[in-house]
Structure 1
């Protein structure tokens, strides 16, 4: 089982204030001292997580609430985060805990940093390119990438906030056939159709925003395409990197900053707290299921469910990694997302190489005594290997 957890506990302040009276969003205790780099709070979070983290392997990547600028001019950042977690950075050819990779069952996981340099001339981009080139699809046919901030997002909250990162790195992920991307940051659920450069493309990744586990800032409910809810280009400023907000150059939203209806690349979205399970059946099929937290696990508890189907041989025929608007009609699968009818039986009929179950929980753990704050992504896993059915 692979458990991905993000936005696990946090408050609202990124800076060390050392004082009282700081607003705390929906916290009911605004006079509590807020120190984002307050180490006993980090230690308390560690003790809270110890029963789980001491029994299963844990991998993490940073979010905006771990920035914690300290020192003169905020020159020191991420000190608490970097001091507390061990990840296979050196083993995966990285020299930092901000970006690294690892294998779990038939999946190659890539953890990227949205709050460190992601430019094409930078160390992270160079490392990512080398890491993707080394992936052996015979061993790990699935490649799953994860970072905190979503590139594709139709909610008003954080709309186009990390457009610069998308423009820098999307072509590289597309070129190497990354299958699925998980992000958080937006406190709601959204699953995209396969997409590349804002155009439906059956060779692109399936992007999933699963930042809906629960939080002190409430759920995000406004969509950028709702009347009067389109943010201005200056509303969503990233804590790191430049601003690359753009108007769409093609399609129904051509010349506009926001769509006037749900974008065609947005397959399903819902403002409910929830969690998801990814079941990798074999090298071709993976079942993604999203559950609302308030629903019990019964016959009708599924909020969203889809089989993600890999057809790499068809996609490899096109020039990969070039920012183009269309996937050629020749050499691309006609459908890489499928309903469960028919596909489930097809998966069972083939040789089952492994079963990897991934519980995807982008959550915020609330504690009544603290206005807590870490929003770390974490990954735990257990892989059950089966050699035949």
Structure 2
């Protein structure tokens, strides 16, 4: 862990800036834009952070990535440094950890009627906290540190004499999360009062047979039904260890203000700051800038996944056809594709929009990952990507991303006995039976579409009668899936339905009446032990 050497100076100076009110971040942003009061000595907004969210680190049992943002006007004389105060007790910080890389920010061109004007993002801070204990709860705060105070940083623990100041600063920063205190207090296990400090629990050690539970959702957006889904998840978050969001995250249509609204939506919950959120890239996350032609700018700046190496993104030579996205896009590594182990499960997250053909960076990396999986340590193997290989709906059937995945990835999934492949893209829900090359086979992977997270749920069926390999499909209700890993051989799957379209929400594709009493829940047997 990277910690403050001259903590006395840091906490004393920072405490003078932390007399903040409960005014919203947005009000600070608007007011400061007018009065140009950007000097941290004259404004308290530099210690007001927002959009706290988590991602697992390289080893989820011992590391966590804490992400948050701060106001761009804090950058005097240079960008502020993100820091996380963390400890094992609700109101006691044992360490202060600095972000390992410079804070990120970006500009983007507003589309359409706003064309020519620039959006300026917050500063995004990604702090990797490592050296943690497996399966342990930690409490934390997110703050920014003026860059002029980081000269005396060293890798050492805090001195006992500094503990009083450390405790003082923890108390003073409590107002940062005051608006979330009631929610977090309500959902915190054991009913402890932690004054709004969020907490997270590290993963069990690899090979541990602990029971773990994952939420899988896709195509969330920031619409009426998005809020409905998020509220439902927040109310049923107990026992959830990680959330996988399989692409099409915010649906900004290049209006990056919507990204801020999307994170504001999560800020109103408790789960975003307490449960790691693992993302895959979707077509609506490409967000090609109308002037620079840059791609995946927000996706790479606002999030940090457990990366193989920094992103490689080439500048596009022309605009992308939004009706049929080019394949492949010049995007590798970074948040595009990565893997992590969570207790008895190995997760591999792929990019449908990066090259997945044999010989490509992603394909070569995937083969290596699959060959390294030890099913005696992680008996469960899951893959997440945006575009579905199996699709019982009329839309998105002939896109190159799906065809290349079917041709080149399905053989790998079959030969390595992948248990479940999760996807979104289609605004509907579907779960297949175990299937190998379009034939039902108990040893084959199961394919799940959860593209009904909130943006829409109205994809028409390809034909009235479902294919033989379809276990259940639905195009009327919103929701997400929950996978409960019980032991090495059995898991339990449940589709959580969170809402449906009202008659006035029909849209271009129409509206479908939900089927009363329909559900999809049941045990899943680990196909690895049934391999033929």
State the TM bucket, normalised to the shorter chain. 0.5 to 0.7
Cα deviation, 1:123-158, whole Å, max 9, x if unaligned, reads 001111111111121221100111111110111122
1:106 touches 1:141 (CA, 8 Å); kept in 2? yes
1:141–1:91 CA distance, 2 compared to 1 (3 A): farther
Q: Does 2:487 correspond to 1:279?
A: no
Deviation at 1:54, TM superposition (A): 2.4
Instruction: Give SS of 1:96's match.
Output: coil
1:108 & 1:291 partners in 2: Cα distance? Answer: 23
1:196–1:311 CA distance, 2 compared to 1 (3 A): closer
Q: 2:494 matched to which residue of 1?
A: 289
Instruction: Give SS of 1:101's match.
Output: strand
**Which structure 2 segments of 5+ residues have no match?**
1-212, 224-250, 312-331, 501-515
Instruction: Give SS of 2:520's match.
Output: strand
Q: What does 1:1-389 align with in structure 2 at a 5 Å threshold?
A: 1-9=213-221, 36-50=253-267, 51-70=270-289, 75-90=293-308, 95-161=333-399, 162-215=402-455, 217-220=456-459, 222-226=460-464, 261-273=465-477, 274-294=479-499, 303-315=519-531, 332=532
Q: Larger RCO: Structure 1 or Structure 2 (Cα < 8 Å, ≥ 6 residues apart)?
A: 1
Q: CA RMSD in A?
A: 2.7
1:107 touches 1:142 (CA, 8 Å); kept in 2? yes
Deviation at 1:207, TM superposition (A): 0.5
1:71 & 1:214 partners in 2: Cα distance? Answer: 26
Cα deviation, 1:19-42, whole Å, max 9, x if unaligned, reads xxxxxxxxxxxxxxx973333332
Which is richer in helix?
2
**Which structure 1 segments of 5+ residues have no match?**
12-33, 227-260, 316-331, 333-389
1:36–1:275 CA distance, 2 compared to 1 (3 A): closer
Instruction: Count residues in correspondence.
Output: 253
2:485 & 2:376 partners in 1: Cα distance? Answer: 15
Instruction: Give SS of 2:216's match.
Output: strand
1:182 & 1:189 partners in 2: Cα distance? Answer: 11
Cα deviation, 1:187-246, whole Å, max 9, x if unaligned, reads 11111111122122222101111222332x4422x22123xxxxxxxxxxxxxxxxxxxx
Deviation at 1:272, TM superposition (A): 2.9
Q: 1:328 matched to which residue of 2?
A: none
Relative to the length of structure 2, the TM-score reads 0.44
Q: 2:240 matched to which residue of 1?
A: none
Deviation at 1:290, TM superposition (A): 1.8
Instruction: Give SS of 1:293's match.
Output: strand
Instruction: Give SS of 1:62's match.
Output: coil
Relative to the length of structure 1, the TM-score reads 0.59
Instruction: Give SS of 1:41's match.
Output: helix
